Amino acid sequence: MTRLSIDSNAGSERILELGGLRGLAIFLVVLSHYVTSVPHGRSHSLVEMIGTALGLGASGVDLFFILSGFLIGGILLDSRQSPNYYRTFYLRRFHRIFPLYC
């Protein structure tokens, strides 16, 4: 059974599991960078095994972008009947991204 929650900002439904999967993908990338980039002193077999397992950190990036594309594609499909199709889409994207740069 898929749980849905109402997004108060956009008024649309969200699939919570996809948000959790995106968060897991981000966590795997950050953990991969930590294990492979930060010097931990003398090499240990456990650290090497974790580093090898997380060597697929690029897969986390791929997964994140695939899910983001899926979610943005859903937004586009939901609003395709709008008379201001592109204007609405780009204004929503702008208002979501722009505050991060202020």
Per-residue pLDDT of 42-98, as tens digits, reads 666 676 666 666 666 777 888 888 988 888 888 888 878 888 888 888 888 888 888
Q: Can you tell me the distance from the alpha carbon of 97 to that of 102, in angstroms, rounded to the nearest whole number? A: 10
Question: Who wins on pLDDT, 17 or 46?
Answer: 17
CA atoms within 13 A on the CB side of 13: 7
In 38-56, where does DSSP find H-type helix?
45-53
Residue 22: band (very low, low, confident or very high) from pLDDT cuts 50, 70, 90: confident
CA–CA separation, 48 and 36 (whole Å): 9
Please tell me the predicted confidence (pLDDT) of residue 1. 46
Q: Does the model's pTM come out above 0.75?
A: no
